Amino acid sequence: MRRQFTAAANRWEDHYARRARRERYPARSVYKLEEIQKRFRILHPGDAVLDLGCAPGSWLLYAAKTVGDKGRVVGVDLSPVTIALPPQVSALTADVLAIAADAEAFFGRRFDAVLSDMAPATTGSSGVDAARSERLCEAALAIARAVLRPGGGFVCKIFQGDGFAAFAQAVRASFSAFRIHKPQSSRKASREIYLIGIGKREEDPCPATINGQASNTKKAPTTPGAEKSSPS
């Protein structure tokens, strides 16, 4: 019985990988965003979208399709995006942790949605990996607080660990509505979960911080493990 369940789980996972290849997406993670979009309507035609941890580019392609030709999608990742991108999409090779120190100056514009599918370079230690994930999430939230328009949306993947509750509360404080969601396409054994903020408050009650320090500092934080996108 256990062996049959494992085989079924593998077939379920393979279904998304085969579908991604068939639909010409570079990674199966696109279906996580697709499910979030269908349920929460974070993206709208004409929106400007920021995708953090964008490589290999599946979320960029899906966001571009959703916002349309009049929208704009900007991606950031330590790894370069090598796939062909639509005209309304640009991908920057940069460290999100460094950008978070002064996101307004780096981007020079506002966005309607900030997406983060970032994950740390994993070590095999669940506690270490969760802590590294939380730091990336803090950077993503700092950037979202700095560049999101009032009413904008936020999607952020996090590995559940000791800091999960505190980070969830920080997201909740900055948005009118807050949801926690695990997409069906997430691998069953994965500790990843997505936090969704809807309707950024015009006056954010919490200052954007990274590890407890205000994000308007000019000193870039030291990377504890390179962020990467999650193609799984």
Q: Which of 157, 182, 200, 218 is catalytic?
A: 157
Structure tokens at 183: 């997409």
- Kind plus residue range of the DSSP H or E element containing 32: helix 30-40
What number of residues does the chain have?
Answer: 232
Surface-to-core class of residue 19, CB atoms within 10 Å of its CB (0-12 exposed, 13-18 middle, 19+ buried): middle
Per the annotation, the verdict on 157 as an active-site residue is yes
153 C-beta neighbours (distance < 10 Å), count: 27
Measured distance CA(11)–CA(159) in Å, rounded: 24
Which residue, among 44, 176, 192, has the nearest Cα to 116 in the 3D structure? 192
CB 21 within 8 A of CB 27: no
Q: What single-letter amino acid sits at 166? A: A
Measured distance CA(114)–CA(12) in Å, rounded: 29
What are 192's strand-pairing partners?
Answer: 159
Which residue, among 40, 67, 38, has the nearest Cα to 51 in the 3D structure? 67
User: Active-site positions?
Assistant: 157
